[in-house]
Amino acid sequence: MKRIYLDWGVVSYLKKDKYAKLRNLLVLNKDRLFLVYSSAHFEDLMKSKGEPQFNNDIQTLSALVDDHLLDFNKGVVWPYRATPEDFCHNYVDNSSKLSQDIDSFFSAIEAASIPGDNSIDQIRANMNVAFPIPREFRTNELFMRTLPGLPESPTVRDVIESVRQFLCDMMMNGGSYKEYRKSIHETGFKLEANAGNWEDEKAIDKISLFLKSKGINMSFNDYVKMSFHGKKITDYEFFTAAYCILDMLGFHSDKLPKASNTVRNVTTDAKHAYIAGFCDWFVTADTRLYHKAKALYRNFRVSTSVLSLDEAMLEIEEETRPFNQNYLRTFIENELNDENIVERHRKENEMDPDFVIYKFSRRFLGIFTHGIHYLNSNGSHLIQFKLAFDNYSRFLFYDEVAMIIDTITGYFGLQGISDYDSRRKKFIEGNTDVAISWRFENGFICVKNDEERHRPELYFMLN
């Protein structure tokens, strides 16, 4: 079972006959592959709203992801049930609000304020305080590009309005971000021309060395954090800022070839990469996004694999192979060995069992990442198979739980199991009292939900 995130470029490519085989593999193997989407897809998709292919694009996305949505709620990503059609109906693009001037902004706040609250009047008064800008700054082209239209003797209002104009220009006007990035490069703040050939896994360390060569004695991560001035930030804010700085410095910078391209193209790609960090695989057709995502996943210790279309084809074919007759024996022989041990525990008293924790090089039944082998005092063995995340995710969709149960029962069979449909439903709901078990000559196998995480775990008891 793999949770997979496809960026919008891949979804578009899958409509082509050249990628019909990959599209069919994804659609026909939904019992082993779990595809998700996010609002970032709509930041790309809505650019073509009103055009003939728009509805076809929605249908293509829907056929892949069903109703499996990953999206934000108060800065945190959660799983939701919503089809792309549902999401499209409720999607709102708030970028146009940047064009709202300060007076309109204050008027909107005043309309919602409590009678007698004069805080807005106080803020308005402070807007007219002088904000002198040293004359030497005005000869700096980059500074003046950042604060366009600033009068000779600006006030706080003028500075804020100038910043708003800059943001609006970056977000709404094609080519503005590209020109701004070029201006920064012309000051010498750009990685070497060979940076595109760096190994992605070593890129962040090399960028830290580049910063030191420019007199900035801090790591890349510290440099990113510096722009937040000590404010507590979310993983998403940290990841997005890091992604944009990579692009700004010249590490596989987005070419932005279309006249309509803005900074939103970069931030949307960053959003794709971040939300893909809640998945096992991130499949992208964008080579520049591919390299930046790989570098940042390594930097933030996110285990998500970044795959090109060709790499995804090979991985999916391998992932969806049927389990052969000797699968169980072969897996135990190959994975429960000393090389995969990550922790040992020696018993301190007779009631305390010895146990060893394994981290598998490949998932058991395509599901479980770890195994805990207990050697009990009576000589029996218990192996507990667990799913642990080493990416941003800490949750499962209900449909993923159903997939886990179906995979386990599909492998071990349903013979002798009563009320299966009822038990399956309780598993999906997170019930920790329900269990499904199989007995054999030297022990038994059981699957039940973990008491704390309400997530299916598998147990082998061997006499």
The tens-digit pLDDT sequence of the chain (463 residues) is 899 999 999 999 998 899 999 999 999 999 999 999 999 999 998 888 878 888 889 999 999 999 999 999 888 999 999 999 999 888 777 665 555 666 665 565 556 555 656 666 666 677 777 877 777 766 677 777 777 777 878 887 788 788 888 888 888 888 899 998 998 998 889 999 899 999 999 999 999 999 999 999 999 999 999 988 888 999 999 999 999 999 999 999 999 998 888 999 999 999 999 999 999 999 999 999 999 999 999 999 999 999 999 999 999 999 999 998 899 999 999 999 999 999 988 777 666 668 899 999 999 999 999 999 988 777 788 999 999 999 999 999 999 999 999 999 999 998 878 889 999 999 999 999 999 999 888 889 999 999 998 999 999 998 7
Tell me: do 299 and 156 sit in the same domain: yes
Q: How many domains does the chain have?
A: 3
Both 174 and 200 in a single domain?
A: yes
Is residue 233 domain-shared with residue 125, that is, in the same domain? Answer: yes
Report the C-alpha gap between 410 and 343 in whole angstroms.
31
| Same domain? 343 vs 250 | no
- Domain check: are 109 and 244 in the same one? yes
d(CA 302, CA 295): 10
Q: Which of 264, 294, 319 is the last residue of a domain?
A: 319
Look at residue 230 in the predicted model and tell me its pLDDT. 85
**Beta strand pairing call for 456-462 and 381-386:** antiparallel
Angle at 428 between CA 425 and CA 429, to 5 degrees: 90
Half-sphere exposure of 440 (CA within 13 A, CB side): 11
The three-state (H, E, C) secondary structure of 154-202, written as one string: CEHHHHHHHHHHHHHHHHHCCCHHHHHHHHHHHCCCCCCHHHHHCCHHH
| Cβ pair 263, 171 in contact under 8 A | yes
Final residue belonging to a domain, choices 259, 286, 319: 319
What is the full DSSP assignment across 358-420? EEEEEEETTTEEEEEEEE-TTS-EEEEEE----SS-----HHHHHHHHHHHHHHH--TT--SH
> Do residues 352 and 388 share a domain?
yes
Does residue 413 share a domain with residue 265?
no
Structural domain including 209 reads: 97-303
* DSSP state, residue 323: P
Q: Which of 319, 344, 359 is the last residue of a domain?
A: 319
Residues 141 and 240 in one domain: yes
Q: Are residues 65 and 88 in the same domain?
A: yes
Please give the structure tokens belonging to residue 224.
Answer: 């990113």
- Specify whether 81 is located in the same domain as 116: no
For residue 453, what are the CA distances in angstroms to 36, 320, 386, 394, 395? 22, 27, 11, 9, 9
Q: CA nearest 427: which of 448, 411, 444? A: 448
61 with 125, same domain: the answer is no
Q: Specify the DSSP class assigned to residue 76.
A: E
Dihedral sign, CA of 147, 149, 154, 159? negative
Instruction: Specify whether the CB–CB gap between 2 and 26 falls below 8 A.
Output: no
292 and 178, same structural domain? yes
